[in-house]
Amino acid sequence: MEASHPLDAYSQIVSAVAGRLTPKVASLRVPRGQGRGQIGESLGSAVVFTGDGFLLTNAHVVGKSTSGTASFSDGTSAPFRVVGADPLSDLAVLRANGPTPEPAELGEADKLVVGQLVVAVGNPLGLAGSVTAGVVSALGRSLPARGRVIEDVIQTDAALNPGNSGGALADADARVIGINTAVAGVGLGMAVPINDTTRRIISALMRDGRVRRAYLGLAMMPGPVPANWRERLGRTTGLLVAQVVSGGPADRAGLRAGDLLLTAGGQPVRTSQDLQRLMFAEAIGRPLAITVMRNGALVDVIAEPSELVAA
């Protein structure tokens, strides 16, 4: 009997999260094209996150559509309009024109640790919902998607399917710490984290319908600080420049593949989110001081980020 207790506790957590979140996760039907050019519909999920009918989903679920229908597990449905979509983060904000369930609580993905229990809740068919559970497999990953790279995603082994895109990834307290975004492979799923950066994106979408971003033209990954520099710098990691876009602001500033980015705008940079926090409208066209390590030496450069316009 004692051997069953850990499983019982696990089951209690998962079922409690499912019970709290399933009513708050909508099934989306999004028409593709218009009039005679309509070519069917896209299916996905969305999470109610405000008391006045705002829902959060993936940008790829809504595509270029401007409206659709949200259905809930209690049998109710409401038309919605797309308030704004941001393909670069794969997030979109919708507004339902009708009653919606009580909102889900948004959590903080920056507090996640590898190995932590997470529960994925989707609603691909508008019935009783779809619930899977697993653990955080990795943090801070990049996800190539539709010709772009979605930065700083959560990797989990909670099984996903395409209809779950836009659904909730929750912690053991049913707080939504991510929006499920893609199936990365067998036994793998990815989610866009809910953190300071994505909250800022969500606010911009609600306010302006779009997100203005500064652009450097860099592809990066976490990289180690050389051992002989760690004590002097008081840190062990930075961001390794994997690629510099030809002709972009970083290229014009003299940054190179293989540089280890340490600071930007006077702030330490250890993760892609650290740099993302700086890459919003107020940085466009303004000088940005950057320090990198190159061939065992510190190098200072000045870049002027341009505006990146999402297609």
- At residue 126's C-alpha, the angle toward residues 169 and 184, to 5°, is 40
* CA 90 – CA 177 distance, rounded (Å): 15
Instruction: Please tell me which residue in 152, 165, 259, 274 is annotated as part of the active site.
Output: 165
* Nearest of 91, 113, 90 to residue 171 by alpha carbon: 113
Instruction: Please tell me which residue in 60, 65, 89, 272 is annotated as part of the active site.
Output: 60
Is the Cβ–Cβ distance between 162 and 137 less than 8 Å?
A: no
Which residues, including other chains, have CB under 8 Å from residue 47's CB and lie 6 or more apart? 21, 24, 25, 26, 55, 56, 57, 104, 166, 167, 168, 176, 179
Task: Look up 5 and say whether it is catalytic.
Answer: no
Q: Is 237 helix (H, G, I), strand (E, B) or coil?
A: strand
* CA 283 – CA 262 distance, rounded (Å): 18
DSSP-assigned beta bridge partners for residue 179: 168, 192
In the block, which residue shows the tokens 């303004």? 286
Instruction: Please tell me which residue in 42, 45, 90, 259 is annotated as part of the active site.
Output: 90
* CA 150 – CA 235 distance, rounded (Å): 26
Is the Cβ–Cβ distance between 223 and 260 less than 8 Å?
A: yes
Task: Look up 110 and say whether it is catalytic.
Answer: no
Distances (CA, A) of 69 to 18, 33, 97: 23, 15, 10
Give 279-294 as a DSSP string: -BGGGTTS-EEEEEEE
Task: Look up 60 and say whether it is catalytic.
Answer: yes
* Nearest of 16, 17, 22 to residue 45 by alpha carbon: 22
Indicate the burial class of 16 (C-beta count within 10 angstroms; 0-12, 13-18, 19 or more): middle
Residue type, 109: A
Catalytic (active-site) positions: 60, 90, 165
